[in-house]
Structure 1
Amino acid sequence: MTETPKLALDHVAKRFGSNQVLRDVTLSVAPGESLAIIGGSGSGKSVMLKCILGLVEPDAGTIRVDGEDMTAMRAADRERIRTKFGMLFQGGALFDSLPVWRNVTFSLTQGRMLRKREMRDIARENLERVNLGGDVLDLYPAELSGGMQKRVALARAIAPRPEIIFFDEPTTGLDPIRASVINDLIVELVEDLGVTAVTITHDMKSARRVAHRVAMLYEGEIIWTGPVDTLDDCGNPHVERFVKGVAQPAE
C-alpha cells in the first residue's frame, strides 16, 4: 500500500498580472522526510511557499496535506490544517516588543498573557532544544545576536509541535559558523521530533546538510528531484550549473 504524502502539490499554477510565476508545480514530501527546494531568485520559491501556507490562492492545481485538499476547503477547515504547520521565517520575524519567552510561546497564546509560569516553562524547554539557556527568557530580540535570534525563532516554530516545518532561507545573513549551527539544529529537530521539513534555500551547503532529497524550481516548474547525494551528477544541466554556481550561458 502506497503511503499518503504528508504534503503534495499537483499542477499548481499562479499568475500575477502578465507574470506567470508558477507554471505547473508538481511535488510531494513523505512523512518524516526533509526536502530542500533550491532555485535562483525569481524562480517562484517564495510564491510556492505562500500558496502552501494559504497566504496566496493558486490559480490552478491542488495542495494536499495528509491527503486533504486545502484548495477546496472552507476557511475553518483550512485553519485546522494550518495548525499542523510551523514556520521559520527568513528574517526570524520576532516581535521586538515581546521578551523571548513570549515570542517562543506566541502561537500557543495568540499573544495574550496566559498561564505565565506554564508558558515560561514551555519556552525554556524549547529554547533548550536549540541550545539556548533560561538566561535569555526575559531578554528582548534587540539584545540578541543574529544567530541567537534565529534560534529563538526556531524555538518558536517548534513550540506547538507542528507536523510540518517550513524553513525559509534559514541561513541567510549568518556567518558560516552560525549557519552551520542552524543547519545542525534543523537536522536534530527533524530526527528528534519526527517532523516533515521543507527548506527553501539557495545555500547549497545548507541543502546538502539538512535534506534527504532536493527539488529544483526553475522558471515556475519543478525540473528535477532526487536524493541529495546525486546533486553533482544528476544529469540535469540547469541543476548542475546552479549547484556549481555557473552562470547560464547566453543565448
Structure 2
Amino acid sequence: MSAGPKIVLDRVTKRFGERAILNGVDLSIEAGESLAIIGQSGSGKSVTLKCILGLIQPDAGSILVDGESVIGLRGKDQERVRAKFGMLFQGSALFDSLPVWRNVTFGLTQGRSRDTAHMKKVAEENLERVGLDGKILNLRPNELSGGMQKRVALARAIAPRPEIIFFDEPTTGLDPIRADVINDLIVSLVEDLGVTALTITHDMASARKIAHRVAMLYDGRIIWEGPQDRLYDSGNPYVDQFVQGRADGPIR
C-alpha cells in the first residue's frame, strides 16, 4: 500500500456537451479516513465517484489510487484496481430474482463457479456483521423491509473485503430511526474493517455521524472542506445555506 493518500483527485474536469459538471476538482482522502461529499442535486457528486471507479473518463486532470493513475486503465489492470472498491448503491440495487445469499456473494461468484454451501456461509457471516441472521438467506429482496434491504446491500459491499467503500446516499428512503441504524453500521464497519470510505449524501445528520471530514461540491469545484464538527460552523455562506436548507442565499 502506498504511504501517501489513498485517493487523490487533481484538477479533474468533465463536460457533457456544453455543460461543465466537474471544473477542476481537487480532493485528497487518507487511508482509513471517512469523507462525505455534499452538494446540490446535479452538482457532480455521482460523476466524481464514477470517474474514480473508471466508469467515466475525465476530460482532464489526474486521479490516483494508492499512488497509481487510474485514468485509461484497461483489462486486468482495471479489474485489479476495481477489486479494491466496494459500493453501497442508492436504493440498494439488489437483484429481486436472486435470493439474499446470492445477492450478498454476487461480487465473489460473478463469472465463476463456487461451492454453494461455502457461499451461503460467507453470506451468513457478512449478514451477521450488519445485524441480520441466516433466516433470510433464501428470501428474495422484495420480501424484506427497506431497512433490511439496505443492510443486505451493505453486506454485499463488504463481502469481498474491499479497501475502499463508496456509499451513494446510504440513508435515502429510510425513516430517521432506520437511517440512524445504517449510519451506526457504517461507522462500526469502517472502523472494524479499516477501510477508506467516501460517501455522497444530502443527509446532514448522516454526514456528521459517519464522516471524519466533509467536502462541499459546488459549481464543479470543492469550495469547502473541513472536519465534520465544523459543518454547521464553516464560515462559508454556500455551506451554511445548504446545511440549513435555506432558499435565501448565494445558491440559486
TM-score range, shorter chain: over 0.9
Aligned to 1:35: 35
Residues paired across the two proteins, number: 250
C-alpha distance in 2, partners of 1:247/1:150? 31
Q: Does 1:158 align with 2:151?
A: no
- Secondary structure of 2:173's partner? coil
The one-letter code matched in structure 1 to 2:95 is: F
Whichever residue aligns with residue 76 of structure 2, its letter is A
The residue that corresponds to 2:17 in the other structure is: 17
Task: Supply the AA of the counterpart residue of 2:164.
Answer: I
Matched, 1:88 2:88: yes
1:144-176 deviation line (CA, Å, top 9, x unaligned): 011100000000000000000000000000001
Distance in 2, Cα, partners of 1:228 & 1:148: 27
What is residue 51 of structure 1 aligned with on the other side? 51
Q: Partner of 1:192 in structure 2?
A: 192
Contact kept in structure 1, 2:241 and 2:249, CA below 8 Å: no
- Residue aligning to 1:136: 136
**Which moves more between the two structures, 131-140 or 233-242?**
233-242
Relative to the length of structure 1, the TM-score reads 0.96
- The alignment partner of 2:202 has SS state of coil
Aligned equivalent of 2:146? 146
Q: Deviations over 1:169-208 (max 9, x none)?
A: 0000000111011000000001100000000001000000
* Equivalent position amino acid for 2:157 in 1: A
Q: How far apart, in 2, do the equivalents of 1:193 and 1:173 lie?
A: 26
| DSSP 3-state at the match of 2:71 | helix
**Alpha-carbon separation, structure 2, partners of 1:133 and 1:113:** 25
* 8 A contact 2:57–2:72 mirrored in 1: no
Report which stretch shifted further, 238-247 or 112-121: 112-121
Conservation of the 8 A alpha-carbon contact between 2:238 and 2:249 = no
Q: Deviations over 1:91-142 (max 9, x none)?
A: 1111111100010001001065520011000000000000001100000011
Give the CA deviation at 1:53: 1.2
Aligned partner of 2:34: which letter? S
Distance 2:81 2:112 in 1: 23
Measure, in 2, the Cα distance between the counterparts of 1:202 and 1:81.
28
Q: CA deviation at 1:46?
A: 1.0
Structure 1 residues not aligned, in runs of 5+: none
Of stretches 208-217 and 240-249 in structure 1, the one that deviates more from structure 2 is 240-249
Aligned to 1:127: 127
Q: In structure 1, how many angstroms separate the alpha carbons of the residues matched to 2:248 and 2:41?
A: 13
Residue in 1 that maps onto 2:234: 234
Q: Which amino acid aligns with 1:58?
A: P
The 3 A distance-change label for structure 1 pair 178 and 111 is farther
Q: Which ranges in structure 2 are unaligned for 5 or more consecutive residues?
A: none
Distance apart, 1:247 and its partner CA: 1.8
Between stretches 67-76 and 24-33, larger displacement belongs to 67-76
> Any conservation in 2 of the 1:124–1:133 contact (CA below 8 Å)?
yes
Paired AA for residue 69 in structure 1: S
Equivalent residue letter for 1:102: R
Aligned residue in 2 for 1:77: 77
Aligned partner of residue 132 in structure 2, secondary structure: coil
What is the identity percentage for the equivalent residue pairs of Structure 1 and Structure 2? 70
In structure 2, the residue matched to 1:110 is: 110
Counterpart amino acid of residue 183 in structure 1? N
- TM-score normalised according to structure 2 size: 0.96
Q: What's 2:183 paired with?
A: 183
Question: Bigger CA drift: 32-41 or 241-250?
Answer: 241-250
The reply to whether residue 62 of structure 1 matches residue 62 of structure 2 is yes
Alpha-carbon distance change, 212 to 203 in structure 1, aligned in 2, over 3 angstroms = same
RMSD, aligned CA = 1.4
Report the 3-state secondary structure (helix = DSSP H, G, I; strand = E; otherwise coil) of the residue aligned with 2:93. coil
